[in-house]
Each structure stands twice: as C-alpha cells, then as structure tokens.
C-alpha cells in the first residue's frame, strides 16, 4: 500500500474521534443521496459529515479506481494469483479494446443461449420422451446456485407458467429425493452447472439422477434430458452429456460473477431471453455509472467507502442486507458469497500479510420478518452493524395498500436507527400504553429509550424488474471490487475454498477404503481425523 494512502488513513482516523465521542444523533445530510434511472441510494443516515466524506473520497482518488477498472474490462490479468483475466462485465457490454476473439466468443455464446432457451420454451427442443419440458432442475453449488436462485425468485413474476425452475445445491440426497418425487422424469430437464465437472457433488448427483431416469426409459436416450455448463467439456462428455448439450464457459469467469452467462440458462428458459437481456442491460447501466460518474456521485464507490470506514475505524465486523420485498428474500445469500468469498482474505495481492481487518460477515433476511427476530440487536445492542435497507416504490403484485404498510415499517426502523427514541418520547409512550399495567415506570422508560446513531443506507428501486435488479446486483459487484482495492487484496481468487474441495476428495477416498477394509463407523473415522 503506498505512503500517500496510509497517510490519508491516519488523517481519517483522527477525524473519526469526534464522531465516536459525540453523544448527539447524526443529522441527515440532504446531499448524501444519488439517483439513477432505476435506483435511489440514500446514505444520509451515517456517522460522518461533508468534511469526512471528502477525505474518504480522496482514498478513491489515491488508489485510482477508474484506471484499474479500465485494465479489468480491457482484459489485463487482474486476478494475479491465478494469472487470469476477469471479464464478467463483458457479458453485459464488450469493451472496444478487448481482444476480438474473446468478443466473438461472447457474441456467439449469447446467440446460442437465446436460441436454446427459445427452442425449449417453444417446444422445438423436446425431452427423450418427445414431450415438451415442464420442469427444469438446475444443479450447482456456490456461484452456480446462489445468484441464479436469488434472481429467479426475484423475477418470478416474469417467469413462464408452463415451465417451473427448481434447484439442487446440496450433496445430501434428501433434498434431491424430495424434489424428484414431485417431478415427471419424461418432462424434466437437468442442467448441471460445474466449472470443473470433477466435484464430488456433481458426479454423485448425476449418477443418482441417471438411475432415476433409467426407470422411465432405456439407457440410450436419457442423456437428452441433460445440459451441462462447464469450462471442462471433456469431463462432461465422459459422464455422457451430449456434445450439442454442452454450454462452454471460460476461465476468466468466476463463479460468484457468473449469473450474466450460460450458468443462468435455467433462469433464461424460465423468464425468457428478452427479460434476461433487460437484466443484462440493467447491469450495463451500473457499469457505465461506475466507470463514468464522479466519485462523490458514484453509488458503488460510496457503498465501498462506507463499508471500509466502519470496518477500519469503528471495528464493525458485519454488514446487514435487509430487503423489504418478499421477492428479494434470497438476495443476501448471493451478496454474502460475493463479498465474503471475494474479500475474506489476510494476504495482499503480493502475498504479504495485511495489517487491517479485511472483509465483513454479510448476513440478513427479509426486512418485515427480521423486525421480529434480530432488530432488537440493531436498536439496543452495543454492536456496530451497518445495514442496507432495500425496497421498491411499487408493489410487486399490485397490492399497493399492503406495500404502503410495508414501506411505513421500512421508514420507521430507518428513522429510529438513526435518530433514536428520546426520554420524552419514551415517557409519552409509557403513559399511553403501559402506565396501567403495574410496571416499574423508570425501568420501562429506560428500556424504551434508544440512542440511535446506527448506520443504515436506504436503497429504493423504482420497481422490482429485470433491469433494476441487474443494476442493483452489479452495484454490489463493483462495491466488492472497490473494497478489494481499498484493502489491497485480490478479490477474484478463493484459494481456501479450493483447499476444502481437494481435502474433501482425499477424505472421501479414505472413508470408502476404511469402510471396505475395516468396516469402521463414521464416529471412529471422525475421531481419527480430529484427534
């Protein structure tokens, strides 16, 4: 990390002391908002002022975010440890400076996805039983699951009523069995999403599903009901996937950044390519906003600086995602993987230990339900937990009255988190609701008082649509990238995850051998490994 950056870090640290010592609630700054066509971002409920945010914005200037992003989209090997390009934004819009061969592959890829999805939706491409598909099962884990699931559930209003999309993400076959019991093997398409096509989960799930399909057909044609999305097409061929049913992806596409590609073919079939293209267009708008907007009016830059600020100077260890739209209830799962797998690192880009705390625990839940579970901790606990409150202006299903009620809850908690609940307000509430219950007045009033000063961002979508969702998710991608630059780490590798996969295969082979030779139980095997 360069000296100028470190000097600026120290200056900001000195400035934060007055906010930590202040007992007053932070005042809403009306300048702290940014608006795009689809998204309104309000960050006025944070513990800083104009003077401090300028110092934070200077960090963005020092690390030269925009030029680094240009290197990324132009095809430089920014994933240094794996010597790979990082080109997921090209799936939204290809940079004119990008290698022409890569551009053509992306163009051909999109064309194939459009044709394949249209053929399946129209019935031109049929199952082994010569019937139209009624169900699709997307099989994948991690980046091959969380994002697709989140987007599909968010855009269910746009999905086909003729074809239902399901997911298998667990190696525990209980999940698989429960789903298969509901499906017709003659009209179910299985999409196996795996970059390597060598993971235990992938191989075992395919074996079990093939056994299930064999009960309804001869062995020669059941593989018509499989699609594969992979970088390793040779392994997919070995497992019996037809060459025409393989969608090729590339080493420059990380799993948690892959929802813009053929990894989402199940989603594309469900919502149609037209809607998927709108999803891409929304992300492209976010890309333009990120690359062209000044830092003080740049949503992902501000989001990243806020997160960095609370982690570095206030010791915050987590960040909370609170969508108030039911459809968005799986969004935090995707953001969790995106941020924690990207920035949960202790080494910088050069492999040296970093002194700062990098990465946050990202968690959350549906806002309206969470009000009755963990909001007590937000309001009255003594932990610093920055949060993003997310809602659309319009109802997802047309019931605006219910949505207005939802919106009132959204606003009430934002206000109380920021402004608190004073002694005067607590006293008035006690007299109105609790004075006739024989309770200790002083004790109740003290418990009703809230200090406020809890940081929270408000994110409003004009409407939950393919375009607005694409824009929102891309903003979180860019936020993650900027955070990586601020910490000086590589946001695009995940070596710890890879180690876990390799070790699991080794242990699995040991277990099978131990059970075959010595008939050992799982308990005995576990004790041997853990002692």
Catalytic residues, which ones?
Answer: 341, 372, 501
**Cβ distance 163 to 133 under 8 Å?**
yes
**Cβ distance 316 to 310 under 8 Å?**
yes
Six token digits for residue 169: 């993400």
**Cβ distance 49 to 29 under 8 Å?**
yes
Write down the residue that tokens 């968005």 correspond to. 328
| CA distance linking residue 198 with residue 238, whole number of Å | 11
Quote the distance between the C-alpha of residue 420 and its chain's center. Answer: 30
DSSP 382: S
Write down the residue that tokens 């090729």 correspond to. 248
Q: Report the chain's terminal Cα–Cα distance, integer Å.
A: 41
What is the SS3 assignment for 119-188? HHHHCCCCCCCCCCCCEEEEECCHHHCHHHHHHHHHCHHHCCCCCEEEEECCCCHHHHHHHHCCCCHHHE
* Rounded-to-10 torsion of CA 273, 277, 283, 288: 160
Six token digits for residue 62: 């020092």
**Cβ distance 138 to 196 under 8 Å?**
no
| CA distance linking residue 249 with residue 238, whole number of Å | 18
Six token digits for residue 180: 């298969």
Maximum alpha-carbon separation in the chain = 78
* Rounded-to-10 torsion of CA 455, 459, 460, 465: -150
**Cβ distance 322 to 364 under 8 Å?**
yes
State phi, psi for 373 to the nearest 5 degrees: -125, -70
| CA distance linking residue 499 with residue 496, whole number of Å | 5
- Burial of residue 296 (CB within 10 Å: 0-12, 13-18, 19+) is middle
Contacts of 210 (CB under 8 A, 6+ apart): 222, 240
Judged by DSSP in three states, 460 sits in strand
Six token digits for residue 262: 């053929």
| CA distance linking residue 152 with residue 256, whole number of Å | 15
Six token digits for residue 67: 């030029």
The Cβ-side half-sphere exposure at 8, using a 13 Å CA radius, reads: 19
């Amino acid at each position: 990390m360069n000296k100028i950056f470190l000097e600026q870090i120290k200056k900001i640290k000195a400035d934060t002391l007055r906010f930590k010592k202040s007992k007053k609630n932070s005042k809403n700054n009306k300048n702290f908002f940014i608006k795009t066509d689809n998204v309104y971002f309000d960050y006025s409920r944070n513990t800083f002022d104009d003077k401090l945010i300028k110092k934070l914005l200077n960090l963005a200037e020092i690390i030269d975010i925009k030029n680094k992003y240009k290197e990324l989209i132009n095809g430089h090997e920014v994933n240094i440890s794996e010597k790979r390009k990082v080109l997921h934004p090209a799936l939204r819009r290809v940079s004119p400076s990008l290698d022409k061969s890569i551009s053509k592959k992306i163009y051909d890829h999109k064309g194939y996805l459009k044709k394949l999805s249209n053929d399946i939706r129209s019935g031109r491409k049929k199952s082994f039983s010569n019937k139209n598909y009624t169900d699709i099962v997307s099989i994948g884990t991690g980046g091959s699951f969380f994002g697709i699931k989140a987007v599909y559930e968010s855009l269910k209003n746009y999905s086909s009523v003729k074809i239902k999309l399901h997911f298998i993400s667990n190696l525990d076959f209980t999940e698989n069995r429960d789903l298969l019991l509901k499906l017709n093997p003659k009209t179910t398409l299985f999409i196996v999403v795996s970059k390597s096509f060598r993971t235990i989960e992938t191989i075992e799930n395919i074996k079990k599903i093939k056994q299930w399909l064999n009960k309804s057909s001869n062995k020669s044609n059941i593989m018509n009901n499989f699609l594969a999305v992979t970088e390793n097409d040779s392994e997919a061929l070995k497992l019996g996937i037809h060459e025409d049913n393989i969608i090729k992806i590339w080493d420059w596409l990380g799993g948690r950044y892959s929802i813009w590609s053929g990894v989402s073919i199940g989603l594309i079939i469900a919502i149609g390519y037209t809607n998927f293209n709108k999803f891409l267009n929304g992300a492209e708008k976010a890309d333009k906003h990120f690359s062209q907007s000044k830092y003080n009016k740049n949503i992902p830059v501000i989001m990243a600086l806020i997160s960095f600020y609370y982690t570095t100077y206030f010791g915050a260890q987590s960040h909370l995602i609170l969508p108030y739209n039911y459809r968005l209830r799986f969004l935090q799962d995707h953001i969790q993987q995106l941020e924690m797998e990207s920035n949960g690192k202790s080494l910088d880009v050069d492999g040296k230990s970093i002194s700062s705390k990098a990465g946050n625990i990202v968690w959350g839940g549906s806002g309206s339900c969470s009000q009755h579970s963990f909001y007590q901790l937000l309001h009255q606990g003594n932990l610093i937990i920055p949060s993003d409150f997310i809602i659309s202006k319009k109802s997802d299903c047309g019931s605006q009255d219910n949505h207005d009620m939802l919106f009132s809850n959204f606003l009430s908690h934002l206000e109380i988190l920021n402004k608190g609940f004073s002694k005067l307000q607590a006293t008035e509430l006690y007299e109105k609701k609790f004075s006739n219950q024989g309770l200790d007045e002083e004790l109740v009033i003290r418990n009703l008082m809230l200090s406020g000063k809890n940081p929270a961002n408000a994110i409003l979508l004009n409407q939950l649509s393919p375009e607005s969702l694409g824009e929102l998710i891309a903003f979180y991608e860019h936020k993650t990238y900027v955070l990586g630059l601020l910490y000086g780490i590589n946001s695009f590798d995940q070596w710890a995850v890879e180690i876990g996969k390799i070790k699991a295969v080794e242990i699995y082979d040991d277990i099978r051998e131990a059970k075959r030779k010595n008939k050992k139980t799982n308990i005995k095997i576990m004790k041997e490994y853990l002692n």
